[in-house]
Homo-oligomer: A and B are copies of this chain.
């Protein structure tokens, strides 16, 4: 027996028309080289309607891929809606990809047009002749001085919009499983893999940004997504903001800590989100800014150091709101809002909870399994295993089967590659990537745990721990440490800091001081690069090495 409810698709036209009808008076501010511009949502919606017909004028196929190579701006947000609401597929190109990767993904996705911020032309234009399917390059003039090539493929965004007739009536997407957007993961091995979001997955994921035990986006919020719109739909914030009717502040090309802090203060932003690196950079500026309107700082992309979160709590009263996910999970899979079971805890214990990745949000199912055997592991906060994920916004496969099925289980769950322990309330504590685990004498050492402990040292800016070969224990940890500017630190001090904090056999065999931790194109620690750099590492310091010979039993 079937239900007798209306067959209404979960699709982005609802998000667009809701914003247009109910929130036309709200504002979208974009910062760029020339200052700030502000449009109302009503004005923005009219521009989306023009852009919809521009895509027809440019002869983009009915389900053609529309590339963007752009910062977080109101005009990027126009493309976020105009492309999927007309049946096209938004393909946000990651501006930090290496040139050969960019060429690969644009060709793999068969992008027909690419919308490029003028300030990013110098990165993009040199590749254009290698892009096999791109027929038009539309330049969004953000006031940068980059030269605009004289080329028949090049168009000016504002000129196209000015000449266009606005689309009238309501956008319609009949099948909610239609592709809405795609994003390539910058895998550490092999070619980037395309994740294809559907209208259904995008709308459901957007709803989750509104729930009370989460980001709780409300019409009263002013939201500044620092997380790039070219990365996993900026964690779903732009669509969530339109659904909730928030004001939006978009930072444009200037992503310096100073610029972000100024925007947060000037617009009395209530919710922001970005990777830990952003907030580390902004930390020295907290004292000089009035951030009293802020109520939530979403943080994810890599584990949030407890010390960072605590520094913010102490300085401005707002700790990090830890979220976890990946491109394949749209990306929000867990969030770490405190619960009633945390009420009896001390502030220090709560800080430990906030350093966790949190609990699965509604509609997401997680399981903890032994990565080798697939055996379920207990949720006792001790046993570790790989987190696997299922749900309506979790990837089922990669575009064109790229990379095969290795990332997916036989019963269709995503292997996240993250290793975690889970407490009895389902709160995750990610200890490592399956690829980054250190296996010492048959036992796992969590590199992320070690990194977090090292980063709690007041003189440490960043730290990454990798495995180095060892004749007896097979693998042992090497700590690569970045010291804060103006500070000095020795290997012995690092080890002494760790001794009361971790099991003795976890202590790194050596500490190397580096200038910075190499990052991937989305700002995550690139341990692959470190492993290459320290490939043939020989432990030099006998003092540290000696710690491996005891404490195991």
Contact = CB atoms under 8 A, between A and B. Distances in A.
A5 B201 CA distance: 7
A336 interface: no
Contacts of A207: 207-208, 211, 362-363
Interface residues of A, number: 67
Contacts of A360: 18, 22
Interface string A387-410: 000111111111100000000000
Given A210-B211, A213-B210, A219-B340, A200 B5 contact: yes
Contact of A394 (B5, B243, B337, B362): B5
Contacts of A425: 22, 25
Contacts of A2: 175, 177-179, 196, 198
Contacts of A163: none
A195 interface: yes
Interface stretch (A6-14, A272-280, A299-307, A477-485): A6-14
A339 B26 CA distance: 11
B219 A339 contact: yes
A177 B212 contact: no
Contacts of A200: 3, 5
A91 to B, nearest CB: 11
Interface in A176-227: 177-180, 195-201, 203, 207-208, 210-213, 216-220
A89 interface: yes
Interface in A465-490: none
Given A17-B365, A22-B425, A399 B63 contact: no
A296 to B, nearest CB: 11
A525 to B, nearest CB: 28
A244 B337 CA distance: 12
Nearest to A362: B243
A5 B244 contact: no
Given A1-B179, A5-B392, A394-B5, A362 B10 contact: no
A363 B10 CA distance: 8
A5 B396 contact: yes
B391 A8 contact: yes
Interface in A53-85: 63
Interface of A: 1-8, 10, 14, 17-18, 21-22, 25, 63, 89, 175, 177-180, 195-201, 203, 207-208, 210-213, 216-220, 243-245, 337, 339-341, 359-360, 362-363, 365, 390-399, 412, 414, 425-426
29 contacts: A1-B179, A2-B175, A2-B198, A3-B178, A3-B179, A3-B196, A4-B179, A4-B396, A4-B397, A4-B399, A5-B198, A5-B200, A5-B394, A6-B390, A6-B394, A8-B363, A8-B391, A10-B363, A14-B362, A22-B360, A207-B208, A207-B363, A211-B212, A211-B244, A212-B218, A212-B244, A213-B245, A216-B216, A219-B340
